[in-house]
Amino acid sequence: MLRYDETSKSVINEQAYSLPSISNDTIWVHFDPSNKEKFNELIKSMDIHPLAKRGLEQFSDIPKIDVFNNEAIISLFAIQNDYTQAKITILIGENYVITKEDENIDLLAQLKHLFQEHPEFMETSGKVLYHIFDKVSSVDLKMIDRIADEIQALEREVFDRPFANGIARSIHRWKSALHELRQTIEAQDQVMTIISRNELKFVDTDTALYFKDLNNSYSRVVNALDTFKESLNSIFNLQMTLKSDHANSIMKTLTLVSAIFLPMTFIAGLYGMNFETMPELKWSFGYAYALLLMFGIGASIAYFFRAKGWWGKKYDN
């Protein structure tokens, strides 16, 4: 537990999980999964609204804020390295902030050093709440940059291995993950908007301005997720186009080869009828003549195709 001493203007680290009965100091108590039982004990001992207690017991699946007379509960999510979402519960009052991580993400623990180095960041519960949001937002923004790199790598893979079936599966997985992230981030953005409008009495006007600035930068996360979904659709269409072009190229080659051998097959069939009245049937040079005729016609057709640019590189006139 960290306590901001109003008299000495310093932050004191105390080994306790309880709130003083009477104090003007700002208190921040943080719980991780290892001591969540103490979190439940502390909540039960506090005189807060029954709906607030029930809200803390039944964690919301999406970010939200519930404001009561003397306290407010906030649900937050932070994007982890595997792109899953870690849940954070926040209870804020006039001079205290209580946080609980449902998973060991070591996110809010980093704030301990920040508050000890800058005690003024703990002057009010609203400022403590701002730095919690700032830390979560910075992590989410970094993860958005990582997702952008992953999608760019996927796009490069399409050109390197356009026929890999795993690319389509990766696109499907990314679209599902981005859909879930967008729902969470959009709701979290709305929570920040509510606070930035100074609709939470624990956040003063000056701190609300910081929330507004944070909200403006955080909005790009939602826009980025929408852009990523469009990029994934473009990557999928690109792969389909490359596959289609390759199939068309194969069909074109087969068609040209068939066009070359078609007249050769006709000539072979013509001289294979073996009618007695055929003038070339008993000619000593008939076999060589037929071969030259077939290959000559085939070569002429191939040259014509290449001259037109339909097969290989077009000849310059």
Q: What is the mean pLDDT of the chain?
A: 84
Please state whether beta strands 2-5 and 72-79 pair in parallel, antiparallel, or not at all (unpaired). unpaired
* 10 has pLDDT over 80: yes
More confident of the two residues 212 and 14: 212
- pLDDT band for position 112 (50/70/90)? confident
Query: What would the pLDDT profile of 217-230 be if each residue is shown by its tens digit?
Result: 888 888 888 889 88
Domain match, 149 and 297 both: no
Radius of gyration of the chain (CA): 36
Cα–Cα distance measured from residue 247 to residue 241, given in angstroms and rounded to the nearest whole number: 10
Domain match, 128 and 86 both: yes
* 24 has pLDDT over 80: no
- End position of a domain, from candidates 241, 258, 290: 241
Domain with residue 188: its CATH number is 1.20.58.340
Is residue 313 assigned to a domain?
A: no
Query: What would the pLDDT profile of 231-275 be if each residue is shown by its tens digit?
Result: 888 888 888 888 888 788 888 888 888 888 888 888 888 877 777
Give the chain's largest Cα–Cα span.
Answer: 125
User: Which of 59-63, 95-99, 190-194, 309-313 is predicted with the least confidence, judged by mean pLDDT?
Assistant: 309-313
Count of the separate structural domains present in the chain:
2
Is residue 317 assigned to a domain?
A: no
User: Which of 102-116, 223-237, 256-270, 283-297 is predicted with the least confidence, judged by mean pLDDT?
Assistant: 102-116
pLDDT at 129: 92
Going through 80-159 in order, the beta strands assigned E by DSSP cover 85-92, 96-101
Is residue 290 assigned to a domain?
A: yes
Domain match, 118 and 170 both: yes
The CB-side HSE value for 95 (13 A sphere, CA atoms) comes to 12
Cα–Cα distance measured from residue 65 to residue 89, given in angstroms and rounded to the nearest whole number: 10
Per-residue pLDDT, averaged over 153-171, amounts to 85
Instruction: Note the pTM of the prediction, 2 decimals.
Output: 0.74
Cα–Cα distance measured from residue 82 to residue 105, given in angstroms and rounded to the nearest whole number: 12
Query: What would the pLDDT profile of 48-70 be if each residue is shown by its tens digit?
Result: 888 888 888 776 678 888 888 88
Is residue 213 assigned to a domain?
A: yes
Is residue 297 assigned to a domain?
A: yes
Domain match, 118 and 26 both: yes
Q: Which helix (H) or strand (E) holds 4?
A: strand 2-5
At which residue do the structure tokens 């026929």 appear? Answer: 163
Domain match, 210 and 262 both: no
Domain match, 156 and 291 both: no
Domain match, 155 and 204 both: yes
- End position of a domain, from candidates 241, 275, 297: 241
- End position of a domain, from candidates 217, 241, 265: 241
* 315 has pLDDT over 70: no
Is residue 315 assigned to a domain?
A: no
* Amino acid identity, position 147: I
* Amino acid identity, position 12: I
Q: Which helix (H) or strand (E) holds 10?
A: strand 10-13
Is residue 106 assigned to a domain?
A: yes
Domain match, 201 and 163 both: yes
Strand partners for 97? 28, 92
Domain match, 86 and 119 both: yes
pLDDT at 127: 92
The domain of 301 spans 247-307
Is residue 133 assigned to a domain?
A: yes
Domain match, 296 and 152 both: no
Q: What whole-number percentage of the chain has pLDDT above 70?
A: 95
Domain match, 135 and 115 both: yes
Cα–Cα distance measured from residue 182 to residue 260, given in angstroms and rounded to the nearest whole number: 56
Domain match, 270 and 207 both: no
